[in-house]
Amino acid sequence: MRKHLSGSRRTFSWLLILAFLAGFSFAKVEDISLDTVREAGRLLGFSFSQAELENMMPSVRMHRQAGEAINDARLDNSVSSALEFDPLPRGFELPVQKGDIPWKLPEDVSLPENPEALAYYSIPELAALLKNRMITSEELTLFFLDRLEEHGETLEGVVTITRDRALQQARNADREIAAGHYRGPLHGVPYGVKDLLAVEGYPTTWGAMPFKDQVIDHTASVVEQLDEAGAVLAAKLTMGALAMGDVWFGGKTRNPWNLEDGSSGSSAGSAAAVSAGLLPFALGTETLGSIVSPSTRCGVTGLRPTYGRVSRDGAMALSWSMDKIGPIARSAEECAMVLEVINGPDGKDRSLVDAGFNYDPDLEVTDLRVGYVAAFFEEDYPGSAADNQVLTDLANMGVELKEVKWGFQLPVNALRIILYAESAAAFDELTVSGGDSLLVNQAMNAWPNLFRAARFIPAVDYINANRVRSLLVEEVNELMKDYDVIVTPSYGGNQLLVTNLTGHPAIAAPNGFTEGESPLSITFLGQLYGEGKVVSLVRAWQEHSGHHTKRPPLFDPS
């Protein structure tokens, strides 16, 4: 390598050399030279002497050989990492399950004069109709299947309608309910899942062209748990390719409030379908905003559970230490009805812990310890007036709000390399094979380039990032221990990144509109495994404000 290279040309040359060392070349291991390692070291911030380089060479070649051997293993995305993230701080005690949640179904529910109005009936209302046999699950399922077929193409939000499976489940539910075997509020209720969850016999496309014909001979644990609760799987819904954004191999999922606008992602179809009344609820996933963001854009309620509460068995892996599965519905209590079913160990996902989900519908929310991140609310940003109105609402409800000082001296933004490294590992076969060129989005910040660039993240930096993350877990839990709930703008400061790294639960709930009539949201954070109290506060606030009852005019049948 010529020593007089300068500026961007020199950096580019170093990248070529490091790419060589990272395995993006057909050159042989024995072709790695002292100059190769010297220039790669400069890119990594090191300057080695001649003696140091000579002593390093056998180990460098050995590491490259090890990398080639690992590549040859051709790891499937379903193979998890042996390294497990534990979000529990020192001395943390897991909540113990206190019994079944006493759900209260409304007693005065009747069939609407206009059958289309069923599109926006809540889960409790639908459950009351089903339990009292005022409608059959088969009738209800056919209704939602028709809406999925009628509007799915408009929204570009449906990948596969699971008609045969749904009708069989619905008929089974009708037989059980008629025989007095009622399984709970989800019994006979249709729903959808983000298309990164495997369902045996149906494609699981991950939203990406290279996998559009993929059929996985397995059914995800969360789907099996919902099967056991009697829920009816009606559709597999769109997601941004490999869990980024709202662009998938079939198009761009639309926002029901404005079809010129995307629904955001990556749980794009799940949020859009619920918003448009195509389904009462759906499952989404979040690694870094993929429940919060589409729930915000589509004006629905999304619950991101604590890391380790819900099994990811049968789900596409993006980041083993950050991925979380959660419900999207129109209200917090409906999300809680779903979370109760999918909560808990399944013997498959090793990250799960046995923690109780103790939601109390009768909890007095004025007894809750509620904080708000004052500095975030004081900033000038779109939606600030709506966010501050939430604080006024809570105060008017009798909730005492205490100011929370949010700030950490740790390099939080740098910890994004954890996501980049893990996602690149999850799809390394796609990168090495060149299959990443088939992905629709090839922009600078799209997955193909992020996967390639992540090959240059040193393993030492990845490990040290997780050590910093351990410190962050302790600091955030020290902050959270004095509060049952913290209220924050959904995109305030770095809270979305921080709480996804630490595994804390969150509920994003609609709280108004921009001047252009696009939905906004507010976020409520909870302690680890403290979703029950968060649901209680959000339920009370939603009953007070009514924001969750708003419907996109294009899909409102009333």
The sign of the CA dihedral 526, 528, 532, 533 is negative
**Mind giving me the DSSP string for 360-427?**
-TT--GGGS-EEEEHHHHTS--TTHHHHHHHHHHHHHTTPPEEEE----SS-TGGGHHHHHHHHHHHT
Tokens of 220: 């995800």
Q: Is 405 a catalytic residue?
A: no
Copy the structure tokens of residue 499. 């709480």
Residue with tokens 């080695």: 48
The closest alpha carbon to 427, from 449, 456, 457, belongs to 449
3-state percent helix, strand, coil for the chain, nearest multiple of 5: 45, 15, 45
Whole-angstrom distance, CA of residue 10 vs CA of residue 558? 64
- Nearest 5°: the CA angle 236, 509, 249 is 30
Whether 481 is a known active-site residue: answer no
| Identity at 223, one-letter amino acid code | V
3 a catalytic residue = no
The set of residues, in sequence order, having a beta carbon less than 8 Å from that of 60 and lying 6+ positions away, is: 21, 32, 37
Q: Which is catalytic among the residues 266, 331, 536, 545?
A: 266
> Which among 122, 264, 270, 290 is annotated as catalytic?
290
Tokens standing for residue 422: 């893990």
Q: Name the H helices within 156-198.
A: 163-178
Tokens standing for 546? 């009514």
Please return the burial class of 41, using the count of CB atoms within 10 Å of its CB with bins 0-12, 13-18 and 19+. Answer: buried
Three-state secondary structure call for residue 519? strand
CB 272 within 8 A of CB 266: no
- Those residues with Cβ within 8 angstroms of residue 28's Cβ, 6 or more apart along the chain or in another chain: none
Whose CA is closest to 332, among 544, 106, 482?
Answer: 544
Select which of 194, 236, 252, 324 is catalytic: 194
- What does the alpha-carbon distance between residue 330 and residue 143 come to, in Å, rounded to a whole number? 18
Find where tokens 């992020």 sit: 450
CA pair distance 278, 149, nearest whole angstrom: 9
**Alpha-carbon span 458 to 11, nearest angstrom:** 17
Of how many residues is the chain composed?
A: 558
What are the residues facing 326 on neighbouring strands? 284
Report, as residue numbers or ranges, the catalytic residues.
194, 266, 290
